[in-house]
Amino acid sequence: MAALSLAALGVVYGDIGTSPLYALRECFNGEHGVQPTPDNVYGVLSLIIWSLILVVSIKYLVFVLRADNKGEGGILALLALAFPDRRSAASTGRKTIIMTLLGVFGAALLYGDGMITPPVTVLGAVEGLEVVTTKLKPFVVPLTLVILVGLFSVQRAGTGAIGNVFGPVMIVWFVTIAALGIKGIVLHPTVLGAVSPHFAVQFFLQNRGEAFVVLGAVFLVATGGEALYADMGHFGARPIRRAWFGLVLPALLLNYFGQGALLIEHPETAINPFYNLAPKWALLPLVGLATAAAVIASQALISGVYSLTMQGIQLGFLPRLAIEHTSEKERGQIYIPHVNWALMLACLALVLAFRSSSNLTAAYGVGVTLTMIIDTVLFYFAARRLWNWSFAAAGGLALVFLAIEISFFGANALKIAHGGWFPLVVGALLFTLMTTWRKGRTLLWERMRQAALPVDQFLASVSRREIPRVKGTAIYLAGNPEGVPIALLHNLKHNKVLHERVLFLTVSVEESPRVDDETRMSVEELGEGFWRVLARYGFMEEPNIPDVLRRCGELGLKCREHETSFFVSRETIIPSKKRGMPIWRERLFALMSRNAHPATAFFRLPPNRVVELGMQVEI
């Protein structure tokens, strides 16, 4: 438990743990900040404290972490829990379709978060150099770019080696920010009274509209809260809770109290209260430690985007991409080159466009609040289905969280014109890609199913005709677990020959993150030398055809690799005016299909044993 809690510190809490670098500063020094008067400081601190308690501690740590999909978390896992029958959306009604689209949109928004977090955290850390001396200001942006390029360049090596030091570094970070906070509290001990929520109420009564605007900056303390749930599968709920309540939350509260006390005593430090808490001699070491923490926070988001991408591929929302495993022991440690370089270019562009963490925080928060709102809605349906909560219990709790999160979203919506449009545009683009791919695959499957031949009819035809049979085994990948694969019909039509043993292999991705070994495989003999094999995988698992064949051998169906040929159909999509999608979406789907990672590589098929049969399909 101690080891898991330590590891959770290094991966789960990097984002929320680096919020003190910029969160309180933006409340008083940002574009929509208020004057750092004692009353305002008490009010903002009270809002920060109760945001951490209500949104992070109670919503995510106490309630949402209970909704685990066989140990896994995240918005797509929550969607599968709330609507396990969503794949038959056409027969279950509009509510399922709407909730599925909401879940996919929430997942798309997380990509925007993954693009903003590395630049804002690294910039926020490196900007400490400006506190050391203003002469170093011109080096902040170039140094940030160098750090980000270095971070993305080492992703191929995997996080295993450097991951071992993540936890200890974050312990040093949290102990350091707690010590800095205590140093600040000593200046004005009565600041601890801000724990009373009446200061937050008083702040709103005194500032009204201005107070509502500040909520957009207050929310920065909770960004990264949704990562607690997404990373549950790596460590489990208990270690994440213990790390939060045992170290992270106390350290964050102490630091925010310390920054608040410093602002009351020295309002001029509002330009960067975090670094102004440190003595002059400690500034450079603190900048180094903050940069290390920022890199760790960025690494957590990058790894999260890889994991989300793999889930999207397995659930049929994204085309196949090349996925590399960077560890022989940990399946969760993966590297996706296309995603890595796209993220890097986006991060570098954001740094060059916004040039400071203050400017970037204007783009930060809009997408995260929307994702949290969607989490709350899905949690309501999951609680009703999983634990049979009453409408009043589930609805009442959801309404409390929604009231808070909608308020945060309203305040963050004011940032849209100043950069908040970025995560929304990224989310909209990815949502369009994901839904287009899903719809296109459904249309393609329908066209293929209509052209498929029933198995019993095909076997009857084989028994009547004298078709030459050659030695060896032919394996046909079949998306439809019922009909005859189109690739077999094409091969038989043109080559007029069959292997002595033929396997129809279907890989099915289930709504659970992992599948038990006992239920992974099913083998059925169809007659006439034909077999049907069904391999089931969870959406957190990567299909492995060589492993499937090994398991077939254990079930009595042995296949020698040197005598086995794999037949794969490769469809060329022809956009048409048939009823389906608008022509621009069909062309987009065709483009995505042409650039998808080949099935032969994705399923780890031996290249020298594969035969690809091309065909054109109109949708």
Nearest by Cα to 16 from 203, 230, 311: 230
- For position 190, what pLDDT does the model report? 95
Report the alpha-carbon distance of residue 486 to residue 113 in Å, rounded.
41
For 507, residues 6+ apart whose C-beta sits below 8 A from its C-beta are: 477, 535, 537, 543, 545, 548, 603
Cβ-contact 303, 11 below 8 angstroms: yes
- DSSP one-letter string for 513-545: S---HHHHEEEEEEETTEEEEEEEE-TTS---H
* pLDDT at position 327: 59
DSSP state of 506: E
453 CB-contact burial (10 Å; exposed 0-12 / middle 13-18 / buried 19+) = middle
The residue among 559, 574, 510 whose CA lies nearest residue 536 is: 510
**pLDDT at 85 exceeding the cut of 70:** no
Q: In this predicted structure, what is the pLDDT of residue 89?
A: 43
* Confidence class for position 329, pLDDT limits 50, 70, 90: low
pLDDT at position 91 is 45
Question: Are 509 and 532 in contact, with CB atoms under 8 Å apart?
Answer: no
Pick the more confident residue, 152 or 161.
152
pLDDT above 90 covers what percent of the chain? 39
Total-model pTM:
0.83
CATH number of 2-419: 1.20.1740
pLDDT in tens, 274-288: 999 999 999 999 999
The band of 90, judged by pLDDT with boundaries at 50, 70 and 90, is very low
What is the pLDDT, as a whole number, of residue 86?
Answer: 61
pLDDT of residue 443: 87
Report the half-sphere exposure of 406 (CA within 13 A, side-chain side).
8
Q: How many helices and strands in the chain, by DSSP H and E?
A: 29, 8
The 10s digit of each residue's pLDDT in 523-540 is 988 888 899 999 998 877
- Check pLDDT > 80 for residue 444: yes
Largest CA distance in the chain: 95
- Separation between Cα atoms, residue 186 and residue 170, nearest integer Å: 24
Q: Extract the tokens encoding 354.
A: 């916004």
Residue with tokens 């249309």: 443
From residue 316, alpha-carbon distances to 187, 297, 310, 438, 442 in Å are 56, 29, 10, 6, 9
Q: Which residue has the higher pLDDT, 598 or 328?
A: 598
Q: Which amino acid is at 112?
A: G
Q: Which of 141-150, 268-277, 410-419 has the lowest mean pLDDT?
A: 410-419
Domain boundaries, the chain: 2-419, 441-618
